[in-house]
Structure 1
Amino acid sequence: MELNEFVKKGHELYLRHISIDCVIVGFHDEQLKVLLLKWKENGQWCLPGGFVRKDDSLDVAATRILRERTGLQDLYLQQFHTFGDPARERNKEQFLWPRTMPPGSWMHDRFISVGYYALVEFSQVTPQPDLLTDECHWCDIHDVPDLIYDHNAILDKALETLRMRLNDYPVGLNLLPARFTMPELQRLYETILDTPLDRRNFQKKMLAFGILERLTERKTGGAHKAPYLYRFDRKKYEKALKQGLKFGF
């Protein structure tokens, strides 16, 4: 669908007043990064988002939006909050340029947004802008600029939720390569939590949960003794995602 057709007839395909905003998180060079899009014409940044087709569930819509922005088919995503403050789209008119979206367009409606976060492996993502944006890039979470609407608050809530979930559910399958070392896994957790962790205590807890498989190979090329490589036991990992674990970080 072209932009002009989307503006004029989008309400025939999508639900009015409901949108989805996605916090797409990747881990690269020991940095936690979030995918951002650059809004056309005014150059401001935003989170990836989209709308719910009339015959789609929220999860199906979120999966479609994430696939379109990342190129990935198999995604881990989690609904984390609904944002409905009447003032959340303050200054909305500056983003809906009159030349393209004249008054009366469904895009001027008030939208309640459902937030999802997705954990993806950075190297597998091919960032793609959408109809309303012309750039899509990764940004370190510590360097995120002022975003449109309430998108900074949405990002903060997603990170808060992710950090809280670390106490009950495993993380890493979608953020690390298939084979990784224990120090690499620990650095991932430290980056998400934004705090250092005790090495021995971390390793003891992670091994006790039985979701890791230690391989016979070691990682080579380092200055110190080569650490063993690990991989997640996918069945046990997915079971832990459903039933939960008490990490206690």
Structure 2
Amino acid sequence: MNTISPIGMGVSMMDFFVRECRAVVDGPMIIIRLGSCGSLSDAKVGDICVPSSSYLVQRNYDYFADDSSASSASPYILSKKFDADPEVTATLVKNMSAQLGDNHVWKGINATADSFYSSQGRQDENFVDNNQELFNELVKYEPGTLTLEMETFLLYHLARTSTIAPLKEESKVKFAATSNKHSIRAGACMMVFAQRKSNEFISKADVARVEPLAGKAVFDSLVEISLGDESELHATEGSVWAL
């Protein structure tokens, strides 16, 4: 059973989406984000990036406080990485390549920012952001950083911290005996809308061309990956999927 759901922008919206879906769905889940991003690498506008891991770029609010002792800290805090599900990632790369060609599909590391502006390195003379060197800091921190956007880190983080609690009672013992202790498996793919190094932006024609191909690759991946025993899944009867 597959569902398409727009969630809005940012880590807070991803938090709402994952937690509230988990609250109303029984059994294991696979969540794949399909969205947009900026490229900090050689990935061009219209290319698809599939992040194998993601870290958070967060504005260090204390740095900007009226306290001189804070000025010795960094204006931006970079978290540790959280990984995508390996099977989901590999399947996405394969199916995206089938739709778009190997030359237009990239696998690497994603950076998720807590702001569209300051923590994505956008310059705004109306505010003190101290982000002029942010891109260089990100690539130095994680040389494999491909993309910058606003949602993927929290998806991967919540998948990693999900528990077996939502499973049906009769499935808990069997599920607990497996190596997978998390009820959510996650992956992501994103279309490059902005080449941040060259300041090139995607055309409407390219969005219209790539979006349905990427969407098909996501659905093909969801169909291809097994969630396990059908008895462990959310019952179709009485659910929205029965409508």
What TM-score do you get using the length of structure 1 for normalisation?
Answer: 0.24
What TM-score do you get using the length of structure 2 for normalisation?
Answer: 0.24
Higher-helix-fraction structure: 2
Structure of higher RCO (CA pairs closer than 8 Å, 6+ residues apart):
2
- The structure having more radius of gyration, on CA atoms, is 1
